Amino acid sequence: MSGQKDHANLFDDARSRLEEVFDAIEVHGDARERLMQPSLSLQVSVPVRMDDGSLKVFPGWRVQYNTTLGPAKGGIRFHPDVNQEEVTTLSFWMAVKCAVVDLPYGGGKGGVKVDPKQLSKLELERLARSYIRGIADIMGPDRDIPAPDVNTNATVMGWMADEFDHLARAKVPAAITGKPPELGGSHGRVAATGRGALHVLDLWAEREKRKPEETTVAIQGFGNAAYHFARLAHEQGFRIVAVSDSKGTIYSQEGLDPDAIMEQKQRNKRLHDMVYCDDSVCIAEDVEKLDRDDLLTLEVDVLALAALENQVHEGNVDQIKAGALLEIANGPVSSHADEQLEERGVPVLPDVLANTGGVIVSYFEWLQNRSGERWSEEEINKRLAERLVRESELVFERAEKETISYRRAAYRQGIERIAHAIQLRGNCQDSE
Ligand code: GLU
């Protein structure tokens, strides 16, 4: 989508946030050293036999940022802009976010540089299987557990899980999360990221004594997380006035119905064999159509960013008129823009808290797979809500007590937990 794609600086930009945290929480020197770079980066070639008989080789990566708190955890992205820098940054954010919500996981991420929408369904399946063959040696329920991310979903996870089982000569469902329920996936996983973001927004709104009916929301992106967030927020009474995707924005002051938009998208889909729903939100009828990036500068109460990283940056932060920002995507606000928003007193509900619903339910999936249990959707949603209430309140209270932004508070909470664990593992001068 929009934004400066300065991936060469994405990682530096992301970890620049660490320095301030290290000073504020007086982290032991070992943790500082450990957390400035990933612990393992693997680059693989992903060969795919195309339908026309030719062979194409796509570059892929898997990065394990830190595994102090547990096995690496994080999604796999298929996108033409994927590169090592981006995967490393995303793995760093996974490490922070798992710690913020107290999951027994480190952070990891994977990606393949490919435009999946140019592939047939069978080519996509071969790509998914080939990628797993490339990274299988560093995977496993106690080592590194992939999941869906941009342009990968339950269908793709099902193929990957099947490939891993073949390689392991065993059934190892806990090696991958976000699978279809028939293959050991968890109920509630598909909607989890959107549901989690809504919990965080709700908790914040409650503290601010702000009613859903009086709150307008614009959403950048209409992928899986955005759709479920929009659907649930609409149900709760929030007024979704605008939604955008890579092709444009639709706007209605009276409010949009996310299910009606999805239905029109689905109806129109040429669809890549049911793997992706690909048509634009712009096919929706009876709505005002705006340019894609116009959404970012709308005067709304909440701007929910659910597309890609670095969407609000130095070049457009001045034009942001929203009352608050909700980060459903990973890293949608650059650190420079974040500082500007902080100075202007615009609250940002940060990614490392607001989009943890997905990985929390991935954790529930992993627990169910390891114990051979199957929990109901009701049970999953209850546990998700409980964890998010507990961890969000800690972040909000810390922000208030230390008069810092929610992001700074969340980073302090997460990094403190990882740093503590690094110290407790011993081998450092003043460990007890
Ligand atoms: N890709 C998602 C994220 O960025 C989910 C990761 C997971 O479930 O492991 O949080």
Give every residue of the chain whose pLDDT is below 70, as ranges. 1-8, 268-279, 283-285, 427-432
- The reported pLDDT for the residue numbered 287 is 83
Contacts of 98 (CB under 8 A, 6+ apart): 69, 70, 73, 105, 106, 107, 356, 359, 414
Pocket, ligand 1, Cβ cutoff 6 A: 73-75, 147-149, 177-178, 330, 355, 358-359, 362
- The reported pLDDT for the residue numbered 428 is 62
Q: Ligand 1 atom closest to Cα of 359? A: 8
Q: Which residue has the tokens 């627990």?
A: 367
Q: Which helix (H) or strand (E) holds 14?
A: helix 10-25
Q: Give 51-86 as a 3 state SS string.
A: CCCCEEEEEEEEEEEECCCCCEEEEEEEECCCCHHH
Residue nearest to atom 8 of ligand 1 (CA): 359
Rounded to the nearest angstrom, the distance between the alpha carbon of 101 and the centre of ligand 1 is: 13
Rounded to the nearest angstrom, the distance between the alpha carbon of 263 and the centre of ligand 1 is: 26
Sign of CA pseudo-dihedral 208, 209, 212, 213: negative
Q: What is the pLDDT of residues 298-357, one digit of tens each?
A: 999 999 999 999 999 999 999 999 999 999 999 999 999 999 999 999 999 999 999 999
Question: Does residue 412 contact residue 60 with C-beta atoms inside 8 Å?
Answer: no
Q: Which residue has the tokens 């339950």?
A: 154
- The reported pLDDT for the residue numbered 264 is 80
Q: For residue 27, list its beta bridge partners.
A: none
Q: Ligand 1 atom closest to Cα of 146? A: 9
Q: What is the pLDDT of residues 126-138, one digit of tens each?
A: 999 999 999 999 9
CA distance readout (Å), 214 to 241, 249, 300, 305, 317? 12, 22, 11, 20, 25
Written as six digits, the tokens of 334 are: 């650059």
Catalytic residue list contains 109: yes
Rounded to the nearest angstrom, the distance between the alpha carbon of 193 and the centre of ligand 1 is: 8
Mutation probe of ligand 1 site: the residue of 62, 179, 359 with most atoms within 8 A of C-beta: 359
- The reported pLDDT for the residue numbered 286 is 72
Distance (Å, whole) CA 372 – CA 292: 45
Q: Which residue has the tokens 């976000």?
A: 178
SS3 326: strand
Question: Does residue 199 contact residue 382 with C-beta atoms inside 8 Å?
Answer: no
Whole-prediction pTM? 0.94
DSSP 253-322: TT---HHHHHHHHHHH---STTS---S-GGG-SSSEEE-GGGGGG---SEEEE-S-SS-B-TTTGGG---
Rounded to the nearest angstrom, the distance between the alpha carbon of 202 and the centre of ligand 1 is: 21
379, burial (CB in 10 Å: exposed 0-12, middle 13-18, buried 19+): middle
Residue 182 CA to its chain's centroid (Å): 24
- The reported pLDDT for the residue numbered 275 is 56
Residue 275 exposure: Cα atoms within 13 Å on the Cβ side:
23
Rounded to the nearest angstrom, the distance between the alpha carbon of 26 and the centre of ligand 1 is: 29
Q: Which of 73, 97, 109, 179 is catalytic?
A: 109
Mutation probe of ligand 1 site: the residue of 62, 67, 149, 176 with most atoms within 8 A of C-beta: 149
- The reported pLDDT for the residue numbered 269 is 56
Distance (Å, whole) CA 410 – CA 101: 9
